């Protein structure tokens, strides 16, 4: 993440650096990105870059966080308001994210992320078993599911499936087909949960 030196810059300068980073990482994989192109694009000295960020990966993580802050949907807030079919929230968040990213200046950045950079970063997967009990909410056809372990596993499966759909669409797959398949998967998951809880 950026240093205090960077965060003390005025917003115009921060935005210039961010836009240069966004431009670089939208065109090149993290492993091929170059500080030289970034500093030329935003007209700063190489030394300044290293006063702002520890290295190029640090600058990438800053860019990714800023992009996600702009386009990511809080599925947990959606879940709290969905009292009929919880997986509808995962589906809607996925569809909304695809629409948002496809119509934003961040599309190519995120496409490079899902195609290449997420694998270079090797971020650990989120453990839904660690969520507070009141965050593990599951409804299927209005029926509340109480098995917290099953809910955690379904959340993980739904998240992985949603991310795979986003990746596929950004890499050229048919959006309608991918979202229809996701909807079908969520229906199958829901049926399995209901049968198991009966």
Is residue 165 within 8 A of residue 171, CB to CB? The reply is no
Dist CA 58 CA 112 (whole Å)? 17
Residue 1 has a pLDDT of: 85
Orientation angle between helical segments 86-102 and 56-71, nearest 10 degrees: 110
Domain boundaries, the chain: 4-69, 72-197
Q: Are 118 and 133 in contact (CB under 8 A)?
A: no
pLDDT in tens, 145-176: 999 999 999 999 999 999 999 999 999 999 99
Q: How confident is the model at residue 194 (pLDDT cuts 50, 70, 90)?
A: low
Summary mean pLDDT of the chain: 93
Pick the CATH number of 4-69 from 3.40.50.880, 2.102.10.10, 1.10.357.10, 1.10.510.10: 1.10.357.10
**Nearest residue to 59 via CA among 88, 28, 81:** 28
Lowest mean pLDDT among 1-5, 14-18, 72-76, 102-106: 72-76
pLDDT tens column, 43-95:
999 999 999 999 999 999 999 999 999 988 788 888 989 999 999 999 999 99
What is the Cα–Cα distance from 28 to 42, expressed in whole angstroms?
17
CA angle 11-17-22, nearest 5°? 120
pTM more than 0.85: yes
């Amino acid at each position: 993440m950026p240093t205090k030196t960077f965060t003390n810059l005025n917003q115009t300068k921060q935005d210039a650096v961010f836009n240069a980073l966004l431009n670089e990482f939208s065109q090149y994989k993290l492993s091929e990105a170059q500080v030289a192109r970034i500093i030329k694009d935003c007209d700063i000295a190489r030394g300044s870059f290293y006063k702002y960020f520890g290295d190029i990966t640090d600058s990438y993580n800053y860019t990714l966080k800023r992009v996600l802050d702009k386009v990511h949907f809080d599925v947990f807030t959606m879940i709290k308001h969905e009292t009929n079919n919880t997986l509808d929230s995962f589906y809607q968040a996925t569809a909304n994210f695809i629409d948002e990213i496809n119509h934003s200046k961040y599309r190519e950045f995120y496409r490079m992320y899902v195609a290449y950079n997420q694998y270079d970063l090797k971020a650990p997967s989120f453990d839904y078993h660690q969520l507070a009990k009141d965050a593990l909410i599951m409804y299927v056809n209005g029926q509340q599911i109480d098995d917290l372990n099953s809910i955690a596993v379904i959340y993980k499966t739904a998240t992985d499936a949603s991310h795979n759909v986003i990746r596929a669409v950004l890499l050229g797959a048919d959006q309608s087909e991918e979202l229809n398949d996701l909807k079908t998967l969520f229906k199958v998951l829901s049926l399995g949960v209901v049968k198991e809880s009966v």
